[in-house]
Structure 1
Amino acid sequence: MGQHLYRKGCLENEESAYVIREVHEGVCDTHISGRALASKIARAGYYWPMLRKDCMKYVKKCDKCQKFAKGHKAPLERLHPVTSPWPFFKWGVDILGPFPRHPDK
C-alpha cells in the first residue's frame, strides 16, 4: 500500500489450521517436524498465540510422519519363550478389605 509494508496479522482457528496443513502437506509435501513447522510459519509472517503447540500437535497426529519418521522405532530383539515347570506355577491373589462404607450408601 504505497510506501508502507504490512505483515500478515494474527490468524483465527480455521485460518491457522489451513496454514499448518498447507505448509506441512502442501505443494512441497515436506512433512517437517513440529518446531521446524512453527518456525517456517513464523518466518512467513503468520502468528497466533498457540502457534508452536498447534504445530507440535498436528505433526503428532500426522499419519505419514508417524509411519515413516526415523528414530521412533524400538530395535528388534529375539523373542524368548517363557516356560513354567507345571501349569499355574505363578499365581497370585491380592486380598484387600474390608472397605469402609460411604455414608451416602
Structure 2
Amino acid sequence: VDQVIRRYVHGQEAIDILKACHNRPTGGHHGLNNTAKKVFDSGFYWPTIYRDAHDLVKSCDACQRQGKILQRDEMPQNSIQVCKNFDVWGIDFIGPFSSSRGNKYVLVVVDYLLKWVKAKALPTNDGRVVCKFLKSLFTRFGTPRAIISDRETHFYNDQFVKVMLKYSVTHRLATAYHPQTSRQVEVSNCGLKRILERTVGENRASWTDKLDDALWTFRTAFKTPIRNSWNLKTYAKGFVLQSLLPQLHLGIIYPNLID
C-alpha cells in the first residue's frame, strides 16, 4: 500500500524478528499494531504479521502483568453504600490531659457524613464509660449502622460487643495496614485539641470548663470543603450567640426588649 519494497520472511525467522521488535529495549512492549508497524519500518513483511503480533502480545508475561485490565477481567467492585445522617460514627479518645475536675480524657465521636462532632470529658478511658456514652448518643441521634474505632481495649472488649449486638450496630475496626478507616475522627481530634489548647491558655486545669466552648467554635467554623459550617449542615440554621448581636439591631427587632 505504501509502495515500499520489503523483504518477505516466514517461519522462525519471522517470529524472531517479531520478538525483537516487541521485547528488545527499542521495542517497548507495545501493542499489536505498534509492534507490527515496527516490523514494517524495519523492512520486513509476511501475510500473517498482525495475527502473529496479537498472539505474541497476548502471551507476553510483561505485557499481561503491566497492561490495562479489561472491564470483564476486573475484580468485582463493591456497590457504594447509601449513607444517611448519623449512620456511621467514628469514635476515639484524646488524652490523658492534666486533671480538670477529675477528668483526664475526652471521648470524641464524629458523624462520617455531616462531620458533626460530639465530645465528653471523662475521668477514665475504659470500656464502661464508652458504653455509657454510646447509649446516651443513641437515644439522641438514633442507632447508627456502624461504629468505627481503633483496636484499643476500651473499644474492643466483651462489654462493647454486647452493646453493639443489643442495638444491632456493626463495629468496624481500623487496621494497621489501612489507618484511613478512622482518619475522620483523628482529624476532628486534632482540630478540637488545637482549639482547646488555645482557649485554655496557661490555666490547663480549666479545660473541662472550656470543652463546650471549644465544641461550639469547632461546629460553627466555616469549612471550605462543604462551603458552610457543620452546625448549619446538621441543623439547617445558623448558630449565633445573642450577646454578639449589636443592641441597636435587637432594639429594632424587639422594641420592647431594650429600654
Instruction: Give the TM bin, normalised by the shorter chain.
Output: 0.5 to 0.7
Contact kept in structure 1, 2:32 and 2:54, CA below 8 Å = yes
Structure 1: gaps (5+ residues)? 1-6, 80-105
The answer to whether residue 61 in structure 2 is matched with residue 63 in structure 1 is yes
Between the two proteins, what is the percent identity of the paired residues? 23
Q: Judging by fraction of residues, say which structure has more strand.
A: 2
In the other structure, the counterpart of 1:43 is 41
In the other structure, the counterpart of 1:77 is 77
Instruction: Give the structure, 1 or 2, with the largest relative contact order (CA under 8 Å, sep 6 or more).
Output: 1
More displaced, 51-60 or 25-34?
25-34
Code of the residue aligned with 1:64 in structure 2: it is A
Code of the residue aligned with 2:19 in structure 1: it is R
- Which is higher, the Rg of structure 1 or of structure 2? 2
Distance 1:54 1:69 in 2: 18
Q: Aligned residues, how many?
A: 74
Aligned to 1:17, which of 15, 19, 22? 15
Distance 1:76 1:29 in 2: 33
In the other structure, the counterpart of 1:3 is none
Code of the residue aligned with 2:18 in structure 1: it is I
Residue 66 of structure 1 and its aligned partner are, at CA, apart by 0.7
Q: Deviation above 2 Å: which 4+ runs of structure 1?
A: none
Residue 26 of structure 1 and its aligned partner are, at CA, apart by 1.2
Query: Are the structure 2 counterparts of residues 39 and 29 from structure 1 closer, same or farther at C-alpha, using a change threshold of 3 Å?
Result: closer
Distance 1:35 1:8 in 2: 18
Code of the residue aligned with 1:77 in structure 2: it is Q
Deviation per residue, 1:25-81 (Å, 9 max, x gap):
1133500001111111112210011011100111001011111102435155239xx
Q: Superposition RMSD on alpha carbons, in Å? A: 2.3
Structure 2: gaps (5+ residues)? 80-259
